[in-house]
Chain A
């Protein structure tokens, strides 16, 4: 049994919208193990980024309510002061952001931006910090480390900038990496390079990675286990092989059905009806996915769906999966 790095227990993240708090993440429990990639997938607006940012407290505190617990190294991060969190951020937990074009300070050389976290987490001398930075730049596949050190973000391409963002995240060899859509803003060839880089780094550094993505291709390539999130809840949790071969929840099956494939003779793509309801209109009772599979009779849903272990290490929410079918009949094998 692998040791756990991060335990999320009944986490609820609520945002204030006009004096009312709405939960964007609702009662989520997850564990990230050492040397494991746990992916969280779901459509835009299902709460996966909100979950990622809440772990190290990056939401504006005046509009956010955090309940439950996020346990890291024996401490509940949700109850830590900002000062205490700053000791962990960038040192034990590194974070990779979605958009490398905006994630870097435009007025600071990339070398200095990588070095910055060493300023607060290490006692290295200026020369040592520089050497470590050059080492990191090489590590993330930057061709000319000593030249790139003095470059500004606008002088680098998107892929290079994402490598810098990754270098910042791994500067202090963190035990946990949170990657929030690390490939979304990049074009396809660069995406593949970045995924390969992340995989290599994970194997070398033995870190646990919490990977947030909506791209099932990325999940298939990187993840060990997958949590599928819908409307703030986890609807299915399984290891990656099980999830792709025996998906159970209607939402997971619909997502997989939506992937275009060369083998499918059909000309039209499968589309999940409707959209993730906005935060203020989210149904708080019953199966949250029911409005988007309206052809499944109401009685097939549980009144209060819970996440059940239907087979070893395979968890599914709501009983509707037992009765689910696609209206056009076909489902990819």
Chain B
């Protein structure tokens, strides 16, 4: 088991290398550079100084030199300097990163907490009115764009009903570490994560439903029935465990989706996380921040698939590698 996980982690190294090269090249391929954004528009800045600054920053070096410099710094935990914010990218990310991780975890937990029971009901009582209702909900949620749904949620529960705060990640008057501080943090998390979760359940519900429908007519389920196993146990011991396999595999991709979703959610709920920062940085051409964020989301995706593989190997003995 340990060997399998280690081997699986080793596989991530070439993946990460390719990813970093791609990101670096893409960043370079984008029009303009760090100096075009704000400095070049400054009328006091002349072309001569700009060229000197470019030379000084190493922007005229060959690509591979620039790449090795970037990757070396990256490995030392130095993600460069944000030209817009005039501070190291790592400092910029520190607090926001935790906010985003917290939000993503919240969405993930809520999504599964909503989708798994619904999927099970749907699959077990296939074609019942409950099933039709659940399938209906999942299709409607699938067709609803996240940014519109989040706006509606914000308008309804944030402004109209006033049940939830409408922005930020915590009440700024509260002192960090107190009980109220954490409650306030949770309170700020609820509406954005609920908005994210409610419309990302479709994949899990549909997968689980069709898996259960497939599994419940399998021969081994009939064998279990012939043993006299009660219906509830048929589901918990035989059908569900077999049906959860693809859901476990789904988890990794879910993480990828969360990163995309956080860009919308954080912007709409003015939640200070990396998604919000990402959008701002693109608009301000703050490339060192953008590349750092793309690198991080790439890493998160790889970790997601790693998690999927590990979970899958725990629950399915057939793919366990000794």
- A97 to B218 CA separation, bound complex (whole angstroms): 12
**A107 near B228 (CB under 8 angstroms)?**
no
Complex interface: stretch among A64-72, A86-94, A130-138, A307-315: A86-94
Residue B176 at the A interface, CB < 8 A? no
Q: How many residues of A contact B (CB 8 A)?
A: 34
- A122 to B18 CA separation, bound complex (whole angstroms): 59
B222 contacts across to A, CB distance below 8 A: 58, 97, 103
Q: Which residue on chain B has the smallest CB distance to residue A89?
A: B228
**B220 near A102 (CB under 8 angstroms)?**
yes
B318 contacts across to A, CB distance below 8 A: 106, 152, 154
Knowing A97-B219, A106-B220, the reply to whether A88 touches B225 (Cβ < 8 A) is: no
B242 contacts across to A, CB distance below 8 A: 105-107
Q: Which residue on chain A has the smallest CB distance to residue B217?
A: A60
B230 contacts across to A, CB distance below 8 A: 83, 86, 120
A99 contacts across to B, CB distance below 8 A: 219
A–B Cβ pairs within 8 angstroms, 7 of them:
A83-B230, A90-B226, A90-B228, A95-B226, A103-B222, A107-B241, A108-B238
B interface with A by C-beta (< 8 Å)? 217-220, 222-231, 237-238, 241-242, 315-318
A97 contacts across to B, CB distance below 8 A: 219, 222-223, 226
Instruction: Among B220, B225, B229, B231, point to the contact of A58 (Cβ < 8 A).
Output: B225
**B220 near A168 (CB under 8 angstroms)?**
no
**B238 near A86 (CB under 8 angstroms)?**
no
Best-surrounded residue of B218, B225, B226, B242 (most CB of chain A within 10 A): B226
Q: Which residue on chain A has the smallest CB distance to residue B223?
A: A103
A272 contacts across to B, CB distance below 8 A: none
**B317 near A102 (CB under 8 angstroms)?**
no
- A280 to B23 CA separation, bound complex (whole angstroms): 63
B226 contacts across to A, CB distance below 8 A: 56, 58, 89-90, 94-95, 97, 169
Q: Which residue on chain A has the smallest CB distance to residue B318?
A: A154
**A105 near B228 (CB under 8 angstroms)?**
no
Q: Which residue on chain A has the smallest CB distance to residue B245?
A: A107
- A213 to B188 CA separation, bound complex (whole angstroms): 67
How would residues 137 to 158 of chain A score, 1 for a CB under 8 Å from any chain B CB and 0 otherwise?
0000000000000001010000
Q: Which residue on chain A has the smallest CB distance to residue B220?
A: A105
**B223 near A168 (CB under 8 angstroms)?**
yes
Knowing A107-B317, A152-B317, the reply to whether A116 touches B241 (Cβ < 8 A) is: no
B220 contacts across to A, CB distance below 8 A: 102-106
**B225 near A107 (CB under 8 angstroms)?**
no
**B227 near A90 (CB under 8 angstroms)?**
yes
**A121 near B228 (CB under 8 angstroms)?**
yes
Best-surrounded residue of A85, A86, A91, A104 (most CB of chain B within 10 A): A86
**A105 near B225 (CB under 8 angstroms)?**
no
Instruction: Among B218, B219, B224, point to the contact of A116 (Cβ < 8 A).
Output: B224
A60 contacts across to B, CB distance below 8 A: 217
**A91 near B219 (CB under 8 angstroms)?**
no
- Report the minimum CB–CB distance from B249 to chain A (whole Å): 14
- A71 to B222 CA separation, bound complex (whole angstroms): 22
B219 contacts across to A, CB distance below 8 A: 97, 99, 102-103
Residue A165 at the B interface, CB < 8 A? yes
Residue A257 at the B interface, CB < 8 A? no
Instruction: Among A104, A121, A171, point to the contact of B223 (Cβ < 8 A).
Output: A104
